[in-house]
């Protein structure tokens, strides 16, 4: 008994000494989401079943899922802190692989972010190192259409005065994941973890004046030929996976997608620049804009990609809500696949779109979204919304109506039909993501294709930290079924008809945040 008391006293003394030696303030943040979806025909023809009525491939009409996020900040002072951010989910109720089945023993804890913040002594220079959220500026949509995601990076921030600031970062999205085949033939020698990195460097200059904010920015990326390569496959497997490499790059928006079996043998160079801003000088009237340009270039011209995307938002804040008008236009492919793509390259547009909750990524919590894709490249659209309309305390509504279409040349549809073209320069994807062809982001739409989206979002703040959201969305898609474009029945296997393909979903979410 005395030994136990002695050990307990010693442990208490050690704990007290450790506590006294460190004056760390721990702060916790978190969010629990319980989400319930019911919908039909999502991702359109992704399922080959002719009578499929479910939302999408491998999904039921009704699904329940949840997600938990926990963030812990260890704050030593205003000049030094560390953050770790965990995510558990998305867990689909009843699904074993996500930990939602009976027993709930799935390994679903993910490291979302982990970084340290510190300031250079005797200066106002702030430094953040580690896996962190990196987003290029956007004032119209809620997130950049080029880069908005978690990535390993070092970012610097300095505020010269109340009007001028400076942000710079180096990020490494890919490295040591695959390898590079030195020889162009499919039996070439593979050098694992060689020339498979992607490094991005950016500088942002946020300018703030009375009623005006403007942020010009530039970003450069070096892209290794093996950054999205073959995962160790050789011989005949490499012949197949080389297409996979092309698909990965095209789907990720970093090459044209129109280069067939052409090997990637050298580093590519990507460059982006933009001017984003808003004017609130005539408050409550607000004008916001985003103008972005990007290019990705390789030794082979067929792999190149170059284009732009611009958007404009006009809104007027009233006591009962904020009506707004907006529009966007992204350059599209011309009729010649041999000169590459005329769409803007994208790194990862994984943030909240803002214009759309359903056609693109825009749901603030977890729900079915991105029916057309994650970004707006190669599309145009106009929309109107009534945002945060409130007639009862703590209850808000947002109504959106969007009409949109593609900006790609109709002639390019023949290169998207899931088979190699006669000249061997394209083997990409049909408009429905499908039937053996890879996922293409966003869905490939020509100037003859249009879509209509209607969405209503209702949020009720039941308690200070508890929100209930009911979101209903519908999207109709009209494809050009002429012989010169997609041809008859372009989404074979989809339970649609009369040239109209539609999808809808209703989501009910319960969100506890602290």
Q: What is the pLDDT of residues 138-152, one digit of tens each?
A: 999 988 999 999 999
The model's confidence at residue 486, banded by pLDDT at 50, 70 and 90, is confident
Token pair 């704050």 is at which residue? 75
247 token code pair: 């698909």
Give the distance from CA 80 to its chain's centroid. Answer: 30
Please name the residue that has the structure tokens 């092309």. 246
Q: Which CATH code fits 23-513?
A: 2.40.160.100
Burial 211-221 (b: 16+ CB within 10 A, else e): eebbbbbebeb
pLDDT reported for residue 41: 80
Best-predicted range by mean pLDDT among 183-197, 256-270, 358-372, 457-471?
457-471
Q: What angle do CA 298, 299, 303 make, to 5 degrees?
A: 50
User: What's residue 2's pLDDT?
Assistant: 46
Rounded to 5 degrees, φ, ψ at 185 are -75, 160
pLDDT tens profile 8-53: 444 443 444 444 446 899 999 999 999 999 998 876 654 444 445 5
DSSP state of 303: G
Burial class (CB in 10 A: 0-12, 13-18, 19+), 294: buried
The chain-wide mean pLDDT, for the chain, equals: 82
Determine the pLDDT at residue 423: 42
Cβ atoms of 298 and 348 within 8 Å: the answer is: no
Q: Do 97 and 89 contact (CB within 8 A), yes or no?
A: no
pLDDT digits over 413-457, tens only?
Answer: 877 655 444 443 333 334 443 333 345 678 888 999 999 999 999
Per-residue pLDDT band for 186 (boundaries 50, 70, 90) equals: very low
Judged by average pLDDT, the poorest of 97-101, 377-381, 486-490 is 486-490
pTM: 0.86
Average pLDDT of 199-228? Answer: 94
DSSP string of 423-454?
TS------TTS-TTSPP-SS---BTT-EEEEE
- Residue whose C-alpha is closest to residue 467's, from 356, 358, 364: 364
For residue 236, give the H/E element and its range: helix 235-251
Secondary structure in 3-state letters for 188-235: CCEEECCCCCEEEEEEECCEEECCEEEEEEEEEEEECCCCCCCCCCCH
d(CA 360, CA 445): 14
Neighbours of 401 (CB within 10 A): 14
pLDDT for 298: 85
φ, ψ (nearest 5 deg) of residue 344: -70, 135
Domain residue spans of the chain: 23-513
pLDDT at 475 over 50: yes
DSSP letter (8 states) at residue 247: H
pLDDT of residue 485: 82
Residues contacting residue 141 through CB under 8 Å, at least 6 positions apart: 290, 311, 352, 353, 354, 355
DSSP state string for 55-78: SSTT--SEEEEEEEEEEEEEEEET
Question: In 10 A of CB 278, how many CB atoms?
Answer: 18
pLDDT of residue 90: 86
The answer to which of 137-146, 234-243, 253-262, 342-351 has the lowest mean pLDDT is: 234-243
């Amino acid at each position: 008994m005395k030994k136990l008391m002695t050990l307990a006293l010693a442990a208490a003394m050690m704990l007290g000494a450790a506590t006294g030696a460190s004056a760390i303030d721990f702060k916790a943040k978190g969010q629990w989401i319980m989400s319930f979806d019911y919908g039909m025909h999502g991702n359109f023809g992704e399922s080959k079943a002719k009578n499929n009525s479910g939302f999408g491939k491998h999904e039921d009409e009704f699904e329940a899922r949840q997600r938990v996020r926990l963030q812990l900040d260890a704050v030593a002072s205003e000049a030094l802190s560390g953050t770790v951010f965990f995510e558990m989910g998305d867990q689909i109720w009843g699904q074993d692989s996500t930990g939602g089945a009976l027993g709930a023993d799935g390994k679903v804890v993910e490291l979302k972010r982990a970084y340290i913040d510190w300031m250079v002594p005797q200066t106002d220079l702030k430094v953040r190192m580690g896996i962190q959220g990196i987003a290029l500026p956007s004032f119209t949509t809620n997130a950049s259409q080029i880069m908005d995601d978690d990535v390993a990076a070092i970012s610097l921030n300095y505020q010269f005065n109340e009007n001028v600031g400076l942000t710079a970062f180096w990020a490494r999205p890919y490295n040591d994941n695959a390898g590079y085949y030195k020889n162009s033939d499919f039996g070439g020698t593979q050098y694992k973890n060689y020339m498979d990195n992607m490094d991005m460097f950016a500088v942002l200059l946020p300018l703030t004046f009375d009623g005006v904010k403007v942020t010009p920015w530039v970003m450069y990326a070096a892209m290794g030929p093996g950054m999205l390569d073959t995962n160790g496959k050789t011989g005949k497997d490499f012949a197949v996976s080389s297409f996979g490499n092309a698909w990965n790059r095209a789907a990720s928006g970093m090459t044209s997608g129109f280069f067939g079996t052409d090997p990637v043998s050298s580093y590519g160079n990507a460059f982006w620049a933009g001017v984003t801003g808003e004017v609130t000088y005539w408050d409550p009237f607000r004008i916001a804009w985003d103008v972005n340009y990007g290019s990705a270039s390789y030794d082979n011209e067929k792999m190149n990609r170059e284009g732009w995307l611009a958007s404009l938002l006009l809104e007027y804040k009233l006591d009962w809500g904020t009506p707004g008008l907006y529009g966007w236009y992204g350059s599209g492919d011309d009729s010649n696949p041999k000169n590459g793509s005329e769409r803007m390259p994208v790194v990862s547009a994984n943030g909240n779109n803002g214009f759309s909750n359903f056609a693109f990524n825009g749901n603030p919590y977890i729900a079915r979204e991105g029916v057309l894709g994650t970004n707006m490249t190669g599309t145009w659209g106009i929309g109107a919304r009534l945002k945060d309309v409130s007639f009862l305390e703590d209850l808000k509504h947002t109504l959106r109506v969007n009409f949109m279409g593609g900006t790609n040349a109709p002639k390019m549809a023949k290169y998207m039909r899931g088979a190699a073209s006669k000249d061997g320069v394209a083997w990409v994807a049909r408009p429905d993501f499908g039937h053996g062809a890879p996922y293409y982001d966003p869905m490939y739409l020509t100037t003859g294709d249009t879509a209509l989206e209607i969405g209503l979002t209702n949020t009720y703040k039941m308690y200070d930290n508890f929100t209930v959201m009911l979101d209903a969305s519908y999207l109709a898609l009209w494809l050009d079924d002429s012989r010169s474009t997609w041809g008859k029945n372009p989404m074979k296997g989809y339970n649609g008809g009369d040239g109209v393909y539609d999808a809808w979903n209703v989501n009910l979410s319960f969100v506890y945040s602290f």
